[in-house]
Structure 1
Amino acid sequence: MSHFRTSGPSDAGPGDCPADGPVEPGRSVVSAVECNTARFVDLTGKSGGIDPTYLVLTTAEEADTSLSRTDVYALPELQNALAYLGPGTNSVRVQTCADRRKLLGEHVASLADGGGPTFEFADRQFDLDVLLG
């Protein structure tokens, strides 16, 4: 199975990563798999020939900005990333439609609102990035 690497540059291309197994998909999730310490969640099922957009959540040691429930619930991608961030998981990559890239990027930037790029919600500290596949 080919997935994006979880180490190296954030824009690293696909790499081989044998799935440790499927993770039970949630209501809006088409599929979810675990690979080493990463989870890959697909909200679209297919990209229609267009590169998908990814919201990438990576665990961090400290947080600059605390998020409210409203901040988290405003983005289904962020909601799902946090739902799939479990013990032993260092990153969650949520695939969504390519046309959501601008909205996601703007929303993540507004969450930082002058603070740093590291966030906290429900006692979890993490970085967020929006990448085009």
Structure 2
Amino acid sequence: MEDSKPAALSPATSYTRVRDDGSAYLEGSKCRACGTRFLGERENCARCGARGFIETYSLGEHGHLYNYTIVYRSYPGIKVPFISAIVDLDDGTVVKGNLLDIEPDPSALAFGMPVRMVFRGAELANADGLGYLAHFFVPA
């Protein structure tokens, strides 16, 4: 998969955003009361229960591999094996995404290894053949 120009693709999630300069990012919610960060939009804080103290922010792009699984069976049209990862971003947000540009082999992976978020075209398209812009992680 090549890095894609966001303007040519539709965001794959409701929290994927594209800036005027064409760069993509994930949007999250941050509780001003306790500082907890969440992926996507929130109205209330799931940690402290605060209401009306939520603000949106752009997630960082650097983090560390918290956990992963190597997927060998998936839906038709999805190439396997691939690495499904959970990443602790340096800004405190936890994000799930596929880890690319590394062999899907446990000997190539290390818990805590540095990773970086990238945006690329997803392998699948919609019924009209239009592609999606999705977030992934690569070794940093």
Sort the TM-score into its range (normalised by shorter chain).
under 0.3
- Greater Rg by CA: 2
TM-score of the superposed pair, with normalisation by structure 2: 0.25
TM-score of the superposed pair, with normalisation by structure 1: 0.26
